[in-house]
Amino acid sequence: MAQNNYKTNTQHSLPYSLEAEQAVLGCILISEEIANDIFLKLNESDFYASAHKQIYRAMQNVYVSKNAIDYVTLVSELETNQNLGEVGGVSYITSLTNTVPSSANYKHYCDIVLEKSKLRKISENSQRIVTNINYGASIKEIEQDISGLSTEIQKEIEADNKSFQTVAEEIKTELLDVMDNGYKPSGIPLGYKNLSQYLESFHKGEYYVVAARPSVGKTAFMLNILNDVSIKQGYRSLLFSLEMTKKQNTARIMANVGDYSSNLARMGRLPKDEKNKIEVAYETIKNAPIVICDKGGVTMNYIRNRAMQEKKKNGLDIVFIDHLGLISSSGENRTQEVGKISRAMKVLAKDLDVPVICAVQLNRSVETRENKEPQLHDLRDTGDIEQDADVIMFLQRLIPNTSLTNDDEISKRPTEIPYKIIIAKQRDGATGYIDFLFYPMRQKFIEKPKDKMKLIPMTNQEKEEIGDLFDNDKENNN
């Protein structure tokens, strides 16, 4: 296959070579001996075509399971993950072995794929600079963007050329420093003691997912984290709320900080001896470094530009997005579009050099199983979220939803609801779960003490609150 047959990009498309990507995949099928070398050289994100990303990921899964990578095992892996149809079916897998006569030139094909990947990154960053110009950025800001882009390219080159000995020396220095001066978390500390034993802190450049079915508590949990990092610790946060207004979010934040029922307060039924809590909450949060963007129907490009603008203007420590399913996209294939949005989340975290925490819905399958504990394959619309995220947390409510919404059972409604926060994936750490208690009237999550087992029934005033038990989400239940 001659190089001049590779597909080249037009003026308006990103650089890629479908033929080179096909050649790499074909080489792996022809000669498994070169698979490890290719896996070390290329990441899934280096492929442009969504189908090729999924095939490459499946090949890696087969390789990790210590099975031979061939037509049979690859098709089986794709079928297991229900991806075979999306990548073109059996006929397309078969065609890959016909794209190259042999695997002799696999390094050359890899170089082409890698080169196109780097060019796409440069193109995307350059487009961001053009967008900033169109939004009226100053010449100084544009120069900073260009300088930053040059620095990113140089860092990538240096990272590629960094020797094993250099990396080992850096690790030795870091470990000896910890031994001599004590351990210090490298990111934003968590306000939850037990959870921090798993996550340690929110690290710069990492993409965190908080996932659950609609109306389970994603927004409430994220706002609890926001309260801790911004109000208690003073880190500057930016919340993209694609569904709730600034007023709704702020009311929840105040109720959480003031430890009062937001619904009773809104209806004028808060006990008189608790009225001062509203004033205390206001005084506590009025100067908090929190920015809420509640514009609906935004695209990932808008989120990126808005976050970049905030960081340059005021500084930025952490980003919250509620939620991924409401981010607009132009494509008709929702699975592919969600995959692109998820990858953009990871890129956003790296480019901003801050943690990005995003709420994600789970699909219906978790409700139809006997075992209601969420699994990674329950992530809605795409498996790319599982691949892209550094940490995935599931919220599992341990009381059936029916017992919380039946009007005939109001007298039995608890004010204290047991939850599990499940660490289902952590790229650089352990997985497991932590027991929590949720107080829906105050929108507050706390880690459950070991002896805290009894559920407390509602007061008469709280029984009147049958509307907004959890998120007050108007999420689509589909």
Residue 371 in tokens: 């075992």
pLDDT at res. 445: 92
Is 330 found in the same domain as 240?
yes
Is 87 found in the same domain as 215?
no
Residue at which a domain ends, from 118, 142, 159: 118
Q: Got the DSSP string for 74-133?
A: HHHHHHHTT-TTTTTHHHHHHHHTTS-S-STTHHHHHHHHHHHHHHHHHHHHHHHHHHHH
On the question of pLDDT at 467 being above 90, the answer is: no
Q: What is the pLDDT of residues 265-276, one digit of tens each?
A: 888 888 888 888
7 part of a folded domain: yes
Angle at 98 between CA 95 and CA 100, to 5 degrees: 135
Residue 49 domain boundaries: 3-118
Under DSSP, is residue 354 helix (H, G, I), strand (E, B) or coil? coil
| pTM confidence score | 0.60
Q: Which residue has the tokens 């096909």?
A: 22
Q: What is the pLDDT of residues 300-329, one digit of tens each?
A: 878 888 888 888 888 899 999 998 888 877
Is 240 found in the same domain as 364?
yes
243 is catalytic: yes
Is 356 found in the same domain as 229?
yes
Q: What is the pLDDT of residues 117-149, one digit of tens each?
A: 888 887 777 777 777 677 666 776 666 666 666
Tally Cβ neighbours within 10 Å of residue 152. 15
Q: Is 217 left (phi over 0), alpha (psi -120 to 50) or beta?
A: left
pLDDT at res. 227: 93
Residue at which a domain ends, from 67, 95, 118: 118
Q: What is the pLDDT of residues 50-72, one digit of tens each?
A: 899 999 988 888 887 778 898 89
The CATH number of whichever domain residue 452 belongs to comes to: 3.40.50.300
347 part of a folded domain: yes
Contact between 62 and 69 (Cβ < 8 Å):
yes
CA–CA distance, 355 with 348 (Å, rounded to integer): 9
Is 317 found in the same domain as 230?
yes
Calculate what percentage of the chain has a pLDDT beyond 70.
79
Residue 54 in tokens: 């999924």
CA–CA distance, 366 with 384 (Å, rounded to integer): 18
pLDDT at res. 471: 39
Phi/psi of residue 182, each to 5°?
90, 160
134 part of a folded domain: no
169 part of a folded domain: no
Is 277 found in the same domain as 360?
yes
Angle at 99 between CA 96 and CA 71, to 5 degrees: 25
Across the range 192-198, mean pLDDT stands at 86
Is 194 found in the same domain as 54?
no
163 part of a folded domain: no
Is 302 found in the same domain as 384?
yes
Domain count, the chain: 2
Is 459 found in the same domain as 343?
yes
Is 199 found in the same domain as 285?
yes
220 part of a folded domain: yes
CA–CA distance, 193 with 177 (Å, rounded to integer): 24
Q: What is the pLDDT of residues 244-262, one digit of tens each?
A: 899 899 989 998 888 888 7
Is 423 found in the same domain as 318?
yes
Under DSSP, is residue 397 helix (H, G, I), strand (E, B) or coil? strand
Is 192 found in the same domain as 66?
no
Q: Got the DSSP string for 253-298?
A: HHHHHHTS-HHHHHTT-S-GGGHHHHHHHHHHHTT--EEEE--SS-
Bridge partners of 379, per DSSP, are: 362
Sequence letter at residue 288? A
123 part of a folded domain: no
Nearest to 378 by CA among 362, 398, 393, 360: 362
The CATH number of whichever domain residue 105 belongs to comes to: 1.10.860.10
Residue at which a domain ends, from 78, 95, 118: 118
Which ranges constitute the DSSP H helices of 333-478?
Answer: 334-352, 365-368, 384-388, 402-405, 460-463
pLDDT at res. 8: 36
Contact between 441 and 465 (Cβ < 8 Å):
yes
21 part of a folded domain: yes
Which residue in 206, 243, 310, 462 is the catalytic one?
Answer: 243
